[in-house]
Amino acid sequence: SQELEQSPQSLIVQEGKNLTINCTSSKTLYGLYWYKQKYGEGLIFLMMLQKGGEEKSHEKITAKLDEKKQQSSLHITASQPSHAGIYLCGADIYSGNTPLVFGKGTRLSVIA
């Protein structure tokens, strides 16, 4: 079974619209990490969340961690073509020096 579920799998939004991507864990989250990937490239680290209720923002991207629900959301305000790509969440679910587990990603397309 998948330990980290992302939804939706893909998303097409019109430029200027807001959107939300969710990441839900089947286990306790000790840390949640958001990445962005453009096709054929490596993953770019966006943000790290470690405390319940924590919220971080970078430009027009905001991520929140709901520890009780073992869930994180990534919200993009006023989307732009530059936001297009694949967004992946990674999680530390073993609380130690262990690799992160990753969701399958959400493919975002922004159309003019």
Asked if 96 is part of the footprint of other proteins (rule: CB under 8 A), the reply reads no
- Which residue lies nearer to other proteins by CB, 13 or 100? 100
59 contact partners, CB below 8 Å, separation of at least 6? none
Q: Do 48 and 32 form a contact (C-beta atoms < 8 A)?
A: yes
- E-state strands within the chain: 4-7, 10-14, 19-25, 31-37, 43-49, 55-58, 61-66, 71-76, 85-92, 101-102, 106-111
Interface with other proteins (CB under 8 A), residue total: 22
Asked if 97 is part of the footprint of other proteins (rule: CB under 8 A), the reply reads yes
Question: Residues 37-56: x/- map of binding to other proteins (CB under 8 A)?
Answer: ---xxxxxx--x-x------
Asked if 33 is part of the footprint of other proteins (rule: CB under 8 A), the reply reads yes
Asked if 102 is part of the footprint of other proteins (rule: CB under 8 A), the reply reads yes
Taking the CA of residue 92 as centre, how many other CA atoms within 13 Å lie in the half-sphere pointing to its CB?
A: 13
Q: State the greatest distance between any 2 C-alpha atoms of the chain, in Å, as a whole number.
A: 44
Among 35, 79, 87, 110, binds other proteins (CB under 8 A): 35
- Which residue lies nearer to other proteins by CB, 44 or 78? 44
Catalog residues that contact other proteins under the rule CB under 8 A.
31, 33, 35, 40-45, 48, 50, 88, 90, 92, 97, 99-105
